[in-house]
Amino acid sequence: MFSYNAPEGLLNDRIILVTGAGDGIGRAAAHAYAAHGATVILLGRTLEKLERVYDELEAAGYPQPAIAPLNLETAVEHDYIELANQLEETFGRLDGILHNAGLLGVLTSIENYDPIIWQQVMQVNVNAPFLLTQTLLPLLHRSQDASIIFTSSGVGRKGRAHWGAYAVSKFATEGMTQVLADELENISQVRINCINPGATRTAMRAFAYPAEMPEKNPTPEQIMPLYLYLMGPDSAQVNGQSLDAQGDGHA
Ligand code: NDP
């Protein structure tokens, strides 16, 4: 596991957007960021799940979060602009985005892959993070120290049979991280990195590996050290990296 002891108040006064915040790793990240002082904007497609996380954060006494319901599969340019306007009006800036929402699609050969599902996966995993990043960059530029984190996967570094659009989308995510990091290096205080969570106990993992014992894998809460490190000021000099949440790295 990546080793990092996040100091208390690491993210005090930071405004951080988390996509796919209603479940799995996104929910755990929303908790971890809020517990370290951040005001978290919970973005996702299922309102009830977002409301549940909102209530959990409020009950814990963390800074009051905000909810941004958005279906990344169907959202169009206008929806992103509206979100940016709302965030500007409410907060005036943004200090971080965790692009975590993801769609697995189907596990089958490219030869048999349904083109509609292919497009859905690419929309949620690649096009939506691109659109969201592009629209929100002006707000990130207003931050003293902003961090964008994309979410990759092992199959985004080495292709594997039957992982289809999901694997291809994660290769694209690695590419987007590198291109954007290179563009902003030296001209901006916004840094861009990518996390490979590794096998983690969530609904997506259970769907992909139905025969696996869930207890075999760490919980989303257990993989949070890297999520905290890359979001906070201790990683200010780290840019364009793809790091493993369950690797033996340390800070
Ligand atoms: P989950 O399926 O548990 O959670 C995915 C989240 O993404 C959910 O909150 C879901 O919302 C949201 N989401 C999916 N589609 C949309 C959409 N169209 N619009 C908005 N939100 C959407 O997955 P994990 O927590 O496991 O995965 C999180 C990230 O980590 C993903 O990017 C995944 O690819 C990556 N990853 C996970 C691994 C693992 O072992 N778990 C391993 C490697 C990478 P809702 O709950 O409403 O459906």
Q: Is the pLDDT of residue 37 over 90?
A: yes
Query: Residue 44 is encoded by which pair of tokens?
Result: 């996702």
Q: Which of 116, 105, 102 is nearest to 29 (CA)?
A: 102
Q: Whose CA is nearest to atom 8 of ligand 1?
A: 20
CATH number of the domain at 15-244, out of 1.10.10.410, 3.40.50.720, 1.10.3720.10, 3.40.50.1470?
3.40.50.720
Number of residues written out for the chain: 251
The pLDDT tens digits for 154-203 are: 999 999 999 999 999 999 999 999 999 999 998 999 999 999 999 999 99
DSSP three-state, residue 218: coil
Mean pLDDT for 43-50 is 98
d(CA 248, CA 229): 14
Question: Which of the residues are catalytic?
Answer: 166
Mean pLDDT for 197-223 is 97
Q: What is the number of the ligand 1 atom nearest to the C-alpha of 203?
A: 3
Q: What is the number of the ligand 1 atom nearest to the C-alpha of 74?
A: 18
Q: Whose CA is nearest to atom 32 of ligand 1?
A: 102
DSSP result, 103-126: -----S-GGG--HHHHHHHHIIII
**What Å distances lie between residue 161 and 22, 66, 108, CA to CA?**
30, 40, 8
Alpha helices, H only, the chain: 24-35, 47-59, 77-91, 115-122, 128-140, 164-184, 203-208, 224-231
Task: Among 17, 25, 127, name the best residue to mutate to test ligand 1's pocket (greatest count of ligand atoms within 8 A of Cβ).
Answer: 25
Residue 40, Cα to own-chain centre: how many angstroms?
Answer: 12
Ligand 1 pocket residues where CB is under 6 Å? 20, 22-26, 44-46, 49, 71-73, 100-103, 124, 151, 153, 197, 199-200, 202-205
Q: Is the pLDDT of residue 214 over 90?
A: yes
Task: Using the mean position of ligand 1's atoms as its centre, give its distance from the Cα of residue 134 in Å.
Answer: 21
The model's confidence at residue 218, banded by pLDDT at 50, 70 and 90, is very high
Q: Which of 93, 60, 89, 70 is nearest to 18 (CA)?
A: 70
φ, ψ (nearest 5 deg) of residue 17: -95, 130
The pLDDT tens digits for 99-141 are: 999 999 999 999 999 999 999 999 999 999 999 999 999 999 9
DSSP three-state, residue 193: strand
The model's confidence at residue 251, banded by pLDDT at 50, 70 and 90, is confident
Residue 105's pLDDT is 98
Residue 7's pLDDT is 97
Query: Residue 215 is encoded by which pair of tokens?
Result: 């207890």
In the sheet that 15-19 helps form, which strands lie side by side, from edge to edge? Answer: 66-69, 39-44, 15-19, 96-98, 146-151, 190-196, 242-244
